[in-house]
Chain A
Amino acid sequence: MVGREVQQVTPREAILGKIRTELGRAAGQHPAPLAAPALRIPLSDRNLYKDLFVQSFEKLGGKAIIARNTSYVLPALSTLLEGKRVVASNAPFLRSCGITDLPQVQSGFTDRELLREACAAADIGITSADYALAATGTFVMLASPREARLISLLPPTHIAVIPRSRMLASLDELLSILPKPAEQTSSMVLITGPSRTADIEQILVRGVHGPGEIHAVIVEES
């Protein structure tokens, strides 16, 4: 090449320009309409979601606990939490269940660094979840002042306490309720089972970087 081009084309213009040339399109030209999204939502009985969730969740290696109402949550978790360092999210539902009152539970974090330190040292992270997907045994977590990202990620054990009313059939139903999750949060995460790898000899190992143990507490009436 001889010297520099006189007119500097930015990489952005160069790439968009190449695309338009190759495709024979003009800038700003609108696309042909695209068929409506295909969301398949089964018309099944909502009462079945809980059982289906438990089934899918346990198949992944999770452990599910059913609590009749919020007052049953603490007794159900007492052995699990005994003597452990626990971080709980700011979800109001955890407070209603009395979890944040336990002496070993740290909660109410608003500072990122403090939260990070606490999570890195904790044995257990407790969160609620915005939704749970029955078909796949999935927790849906939207980052917000109530739910931080790292509580369900850094501690080796994650417990999610969820009112039964937040059960959805599947990913398809979630996307019909939340057609654009980015309008609500910078981060929506679907958690389907414990962290795992099969990178060495295709042998399944749980708990690589995220929690190797996960529990779901489903609260029937809330």
Chain B
Amino acid sequence: MATIKETVADPRLQLAIYSATQRLIDHRAGAVGFKVFPEYQDLRTLAHDIKKHTIEHLDYYLEQLEANVVAHGGQVIFCEDAEQVTDFVLNLAKQRNARLIVKSKSMTTEEIHFNERLEHHQLEAVETDLGEYILQLAHQRPYHIVAPALHLTRYDVADIFTKSLGVKKEVVIEEQTKIARSVLRDKFLQADIGVTGANFLVADSGAVVVVENEGNARLSSSAPKIHIAVAGIEKLIPRAQDLAVFLNLLGRSATGQPLTVYTSFLSGPRREGEVDGPDEFYLILLDNGRTKLLADPDKRQSLYCIRCGACLNHCPVYRKIGGHNYPWVYSGPIGAIITPQFHGVSKDPWLPFASSLCGACAEVCPVKIEIPKLLLKLRAEVVEAKQREGAGGLERLAFRMFSWMMTHPRVYLMLACIGSALAPITPKIGPLRKWTSQRSLPPLASTSFHKWWAERSSK
């Protein structure tokens, strides 16, 4: 996979990232403007408040959810980590003599390397979202939380299909889609188990809500006899009626759609008289480090995220370095705030600094997570941790300089400007030129971060 340097130096890849994110930016802009959607800002505030309330009473709503899933004939399995998830699925597969699993797109299962873990036990798990399927064939992880194969062109896809499926080279996107459809259709009809993620867990209904455009999540949850939904414990909302807030925000923020093509509201196995649907329904509730994010009232905001991807699209750093250069499956600004909290700040100390603090992420976030504020908090923690570890003198100095520069965006911008202006005529400027050649000036948010920060802090 391309490093930061390679990504930045690859014009084809730069164009792919830039144009795809620009399209998503434009689609969103067309769907949230005051003329088309005057309620937008009010709904963001509501969404933030509902998420805040839910996370602050998470244990209560989890128990309510569990009771309601059980009342509708489903089972709830709490899992602390990836291993417990795999153990449960393997056990069930063994008992039911299952061989083939169809999967719809789910970042939570990406997070725990679900497919690889099952493969080690001769259980085939096939991704069925087109983008995810392509990536599975190419052995890559998602580049973007909403558009997983954003970095690939039709020519890349043609090569991947030829190599993995043995089909003749096909570069027409419609035809490529047909190839995937027909291969995956057989899988859907043969699969023993369907696994989906969940965009929302509805406590008062014991329901899992899945949004998608392709129909693969519907097929995964309806065709096989067993449906397993895997979700992080933070996906809760209290009431089905709260969906009016969240569904109105999610599709618009992600792809500019007022509603995605399919929204499935699923609760338990098929009921008496229903003609089709699964006989068994399991909801896996995964912690995997989420409870570590609860203690700090500011940082727990990271758990409000509804994974719309808007902050990635609008982030000048993401748009430059792409998704694979973030250390974990969650990339962009949301990745930069959750990864250090899940894995510890010392593991990838640079991550909270990979932001120009331009504030665009906070401005577009549908649940109003104060991403820049959290980045600053995490930066302070990184510095603290480094000091505790007693990093070597020189390293510490360099590190301080770096953090100082990154927290003084004007200096940073100035250096970046001077650097790029001088670069063509003064090759001797060496290190600085190298530094600036990988940076472009972030577009400015309509409220500057400084102003936003001042307003926030004075509240």
* Chain A interface residues toward B at CB < 8 A: 10-12, 14-16, 18-20, 22-23, 25, 27, 29-32, 34-35, 37-40, 90, 109-112, 115-116, 120, 135-136, 138, 143-145, 148-150, 153-154, 171-172, 175-176, 178-183, 185-203, 205, 207-211
The reply to whether A182 and B205 contact each other, CB–CB distance below 8 Å, is yes
Tell me, yes or no, whether B49 is within 8 Å of chain A by CB: yes
The reply to whether B215 and A153 contact each other, CB–CB distance below 8 Å, is yes
- B143 CB to closest chain A CB (Å) equals 11
With A and B bound together, what is the CA distance between A34 and B264 in angstroms? 25
Tell me, yes or no, whether B58 is within 8 Å of chain A by CB: yes
* Chain B interface residues toward A at CB < 8 A: 16, 19-20, 23-24, 39, 42-43, 46, 49-50, 53, 56-63, 68, 72, 78-80, 84, 128-131, 134, 147-150, 152-154, 157, 173-174, 176-177, 180-181, 184-185, 188-189, 202, 204-207, 213-216, 218-219, 221-223, 233, 238-245, 247-248, 255, 257-271, 273-277, 281, 285, 287, 291-292, 294-295
With A and B bound together, what is the CA distance between A135 and B37 in angstroms? 12
Known: A15-B285, A180-B205, A200-B130. A171 touches B218 (CB 8 A): no
With A and B bound together, what is the CA distance between A40 and B78 in angstroms? 36
The reply to whether B59 and A27 contact each other, CB–CB distance below 8 Å, is yes
Which of the residues B68, B79, B223, B294 comes within 8 Å of A182, measured between beta carbons?
A: B68
Which of the residues A136, A148, A195 comes within 8 Å of B215, measured between beta carbons?
A: A195
- A85 CB to closest chain B CB (Å) equals 16
Please give me the residue from chain B that is nearest to A214 by CB atom: B261
The reply to whether A19 and B157 contact each other, CB–CB distance below 8 Å, is no
Residues of B close to A196: CB separation below 8 A: 213-214, 261
- A172 CB to closest chain B CB (Å) equals 5
Given A187-B265, A192-B258, 10 more A-B residue pairs with CB atoms under 8 Å apart are A11-B84, A39-B244, A110-B275, A186-B267, A192-B261, A200-B153, A200-B177, A207-B181, A208-B216, A209-B215
Which of A120, A183, A200 has the largest number of chain B CB atoms within 10 A?
A200
The reply to whether B265 and A181 contact each other, CB–CB distance below 8 Å, is yes
Which of the residues A16, A18, A109, A202 comes within 8 Å of B63, measured between beta carbons?
A: A16
- B64 CB to closest chain A CB (Å) equals 10
- B19 CB to closest chain A CB (Å) equals 7
Known: A40-B244, A144-B274, A149-B276. A190 touches B78 (CB 8 A): no
With A and B bound together, what is the CA distance between A199 and B128 in angstroms? 12
14 A–B contacts, CB within 8 A, in A order: A27-B59, A31-B53, A31-B56, A115-B276, A143-B277, A148-B276, A178-B240, A182-B240, A185-B274, A187-B264, A198-B255, A200-B176, A200-B177, A210-B262
- B219 CB to closest chain A CB (Å) equals 6
Which of B149, B255, B287 has the largest number of chain A CB atoms within 10 A?
B287
With A and B bound together, what is the CA distance between A155 and B92 in angstroms? 31
Residues of A close to B148: CB separation below 8 A: 199
The reply to whether B294 and A23 contact each other, CB–CB distance below 8 Å, is yes
With A and B bound together, what is the CA distance between A37 and B72 in angstroms? 24
Known: A40-B244, A210-B215. A11 touches B261 (CB 8 A): no
Which of A135, A171, A202 has the largest number of chain B CB atoms within 10 A?
A202
List the 3 closest A-B pairs by CB distance, nearest first.
Answer: A210-B215, A199-B131, A37-B241
Which of the residues A14, A39, A186 comes within 8 Å of B277, measured between beta carbons?
A: A186
The reply to whether B218 and A23 contact each other, CB–CB distance below 8 Å, is no
The reply to whether B261 and A38 contact each other, CB–CB distance below 8 Å, is no
The reply to whether A181 and B62 contact each other, CB–CB distance below 8 Å, is no
The reply to whether A19 and B214 contact each other, CB–CB distance below 8 Å, is no
Residues of A close to B238: CB separation below 8 A: 34
Known: A195-B261, A200-B177. A186 touches B268 (CB 8 A): yes
Which of the residues B46, B68, B222, B287 comes within 8 Å of A153, measured between beta carbons?
A: B222
Please give me the residue from chain B that is nearest to A12 by CB atom: B78
The reply to whether A34 and B50 contact each other, CB–CB distance below 8 Å, is yes
With A and B bound together, what is the CA distance between A34 and B239 in angstroms? 10
Residues of B close to A39: CB separation below 8 A: 241, 244
The reply to whether A202 and B23 contact each other, CB–CB distance below 8 Å, is yes
With A and B bound together, what is the CA distance between A172 and B157 in angstroms? 40
The reply to whether B262 and A115 contact each other, CB–CB distance below 8 Å, is no
The reply to whether A186 and B271 contact each other, CB–CB distance below 8 Å, is yes
- A178 CB to closest chain B CB (Å) equals 8
- A36 CB to closest chain B CB (Å) equals 9
Residues of A close to B72: CB separation below 8 A: 182, 186
- A42 CB to closest chain B CB (Å) equals 11
With A and B bound together, what is the CA distance between A76 and B90 in angstroms? 51
Which of the residues B181, B207, B221 comes within 8 Å of A209, measured between beta carbons?
A: B181
The reply to whether B275 and A175 contact each other, CB–CB distance below 8 Å, is no
Known: A38-B245, A189-B264, A209-B128. A181 touches B215 (CB 8 A): no
The reply to whether B287 and A15 contact each other, CB–CB distance below 8 Å, is yes
With A and B bound together, what is the CA distance between A39 and B39 in angstroms? 11
Residues of A close to B292: CB separation below 8 A: 22
- A102 CB to closest chain B CB (Å) equals 20
With A and B bound together, what is the CA distance between A200 and B219 in angstroms? 21
With A and B bound together, what is the CA distance between A201 and B258 in angstroms? 22
Residues of B close to A197: CB separation below 8 A: 130-131, 177, 213-214
Please give me the residue from chain B that is nearest to A153 by CB atom: B218
Which of the residues B263, B274, B285 comes within 8 Å of A186, measured between beta carbons?
A: B274
